[in-house]
Structure 1
Amino acid sequence: MNFKINNWRVLISIIFSVFIFVNCAGKARKPAPKPIGQISPHFEISLRLADSLWANRTNPDNALDALYAYEYLAQKDSTNLPIWSKLVHAYYFYAEYIQAQNQVRRDSLFGIGYNITREMLKRSKPYQSVMVTAGDPLLALKSLESPYEQILYWGTACLAQWSATKGEIVQRGQRKWIFAALNQIHDLDSTFYFGGYDRFMGALLCVDPAAGQNAPDEARKYFDVAREIAPDYLGTYILEARYYAPLVQDEALFNQLLATVRTAELDLKKPYGPENYFEKRRCEYLELAASEKGWFNKQ
């Protein structure tokens, strides 16, 4: 990770001011060791500011600044799994929504997010124990405990998006790991990120080259469950419109799903409000793609 912290404005000035004060005040005597899990005051202030940037991530500058901030904090406290989870989420968000039209940049960001996840999994003692004794990463995934579902979800999302443009051979190579990771996420928190597991599974079954004949029916059920968990999470409707409707050649459903997204009330104060903001903007793109690529003209 070679990002430089050069975009923080207010955040970085406050951090440096606090650090200078702490360093000057602490020269008289060596500070006592920090108890495990204790968050220092300046770290907590920095985290609050980073979270504030993240809450306003509809602004691309804020989204990037939040990514920089989480990376800085993760490097300052390399054992803080929740911070690393926020960082991988930030990489996913920035690639998926802000860099949506730049495939090369998207791939790079998704790759970084996934690689961070793999490195953090190695810090799990149960995971490492299974890898040493069995050498099976799929079996090792089953050993992960909460809150690993957070970083595992976003890392898996990064991997899935990265592999989506790499062809069937690459997709088949990543298939087992992705499904194993999703199953473990479900075991740890079945409703994580507002129905993320079911939303993810619904989309995957629509594009999985190894999916069986019942895949469309199963995919629809997953989308239905995701909607039950979070009826106003618009990404579920967009994914169903993008993948399921063309798969079953249901143009009426496609139009209905996009109409639901268009007319949905936007509340940016919700934790997924920024995602909904960008999902609404995808309606026109999907309509254009459906027309140009003939999604509903298959014989």
Structure 2
Amino acid sequence: MGFSARKLTLSFLLLSLLLLGAGCATSRTSGWEKGSDQVTLSDKDKKELEAKAGVHWAKRYVREDLLKFIDAYETLSKADQNSYKYLVGLCRGYYLLADGHTSEIEEKKLLWEKGLTFGERAMATNPAFKTKVVAEGGKIEAALDTLTKNEVEAIYWSAVNLGKWASASGIAAKLKFKSRIQEMINRVGTLEPTFFYGAVQRYWGAFYAIAPSFAGGDLNKAKENFDKSLEVQKDYLGTYVLYAELYATKKSDRKLFEEKLNYVLKADAHKIQEIAPENLIEQEKARNLLKKMEELF
């Protein structure tokens, strides 16, 4: 056997071991398989708790407020276990808590997994989807076509929670869930191409920037997709942060890195009021990245 053949065989064996390891090291229980405590709330209590949750959500750029929002929505969800509103709110809330307010990777993983659990339950509020994946035991990928624009939030926030959790869990998890995540993002793109201020294009920009070339990485495609995301909405600051953090660093373009992050710092975070909290978080990320510039370049 020649050197190339031996190298190929070894690579195949290593990949096989990783995939075998994925069965135990990256296994998780789907959200609809997990039990949940149930509580009883009066209509008055629900209304008051929803009002409090709304106040805290508006200040979600503060960790303590986001935690209070999550606590309120978890209680509301226990009182109404099939409420899509509460489930998808928790899916997004846990994602933001991990992404914007947590630094320790193991804690982040726990939060992303919690967010995914609620997101899966939110998707399963669609009866046709629930039949396919719960009653018939089918794969999520094969049931995505049953989900509609009504569930687009659940699909997207579940996908990014899963993506972040898998990336933080290692190569085996990334290999195991790559296709599912990408098919979920594609479904969002089909149902609502401009969802969440260019989120689909932003995802692909990040994917092409992060992935090695043998796995589909392509800096030209990364730039193209980040630019498309900005065409959808130029005032969502998270796109500029990812552009700098993922594309400019890999391109070794220090000037572009500074340009994008300084733009974020000078921007009006409140220009789009409904995402002002996210923009404030992104401005803090930009400050931290600029402090690390010497390490990154």
Normalised by the length of structure 1, the TM-score is 0.79
Q: Identity of counterpart residues, as a percentage? A: 25
Greater mean alpha carbon deviation, residues 242-251 or residues 41-50: 41-50
Which of 78, 85, 89 is equivalent to 1:86? 89
Secondary structure of 2:146's partner? coil
CA RMSD after TM alignment: 2.6
Query: Does the 8 Å CA contact 2:202/2:226 hold for their aligned counterparts?
Result: yes
Distance (Å, rounded) in 1 between the aligned partners of 2:105 and 2:271? 27
Distance (Å, rounded) in 1 between the aligned partners of 2:138 and 2:75? 33
Residue of structure 1 equivalent to 2:126: 124
Name structure 2 gaps, 5 residues minimum: 1-33
Offset, 1:255: 1.2
Q: 1:113 to 1:244 in 2, by over 3 A?
A: same
Distance (Å, rounded) in 2 between the aligned partners of 1:63 and 1:2? 24
Offset, 1:54: 0.2
Offset, 1:274: 1.0
Query: Does the 8 Å CA contact 2:149/2:191 hold for their aligned counterparts?
Result: yes
Give the AA of the match of 2:114: I
Residue of structure 1 equivalent to 2:167: 164
Greater mean alpha carbon deviation, residues 141-150 or residues 45-54: 45-54
Offset, 1:263: 1.0
Distance (Å, rounded) in 2 between the aligned partners of 1:76 and 1:92? 22
Give the AA of the match of 1:170: A
Structure with bigger helix share is 2
Secondary structure of 1:79's partner? coil
Indicate the structure whose relative CO is greater, using CA pairs within 8 Å and at least 6 residues apart: 2
Offset, 1:268: 8.0
Secondary structure of 1:164's partner? helix
Residue of structure 1 equivalent to 2:152: 149
Query: Does the 8 Å CA contact 1:205/1:211 hold for their aligned counterparts?
Result: no
Residues 91-240 of structure 1 aligned to structure 2 (within 5 Å): 91-99=94-102, 101-131=103-133, 135-209=138-212, 211-212=215-216, 215-240=218-243
Query: Does the 8 Å CA contact 2:92/2:157 hold for their aligned counterparts?
Result: yes
Normalised by the length of structure 2, the TM-score is 0.79
Q: 1:212 to 1:61 in 2, by over 3 A?
A: closer
Paired positions, count: 260
Offset, 1:41: 5.6
Residue of structure 1 equivalent to 2:73: 70
Give the AA of the match of 1:111: E
Secondary structure of 2:269's partner? coil
Offset, 1:186: 1.3
Distance (Å, rounded) in 2 between the aligned partners of 1:77 and 1:127? 20
Name structure 1 gaps, 5 residues minimum: 5-14, 20-39
| Structure 1 consecutive aligned stretches of length 4 or more whose deviation exceeds 4 Å | 1-4
Residue of structure 1 equivalent to 2:31: none
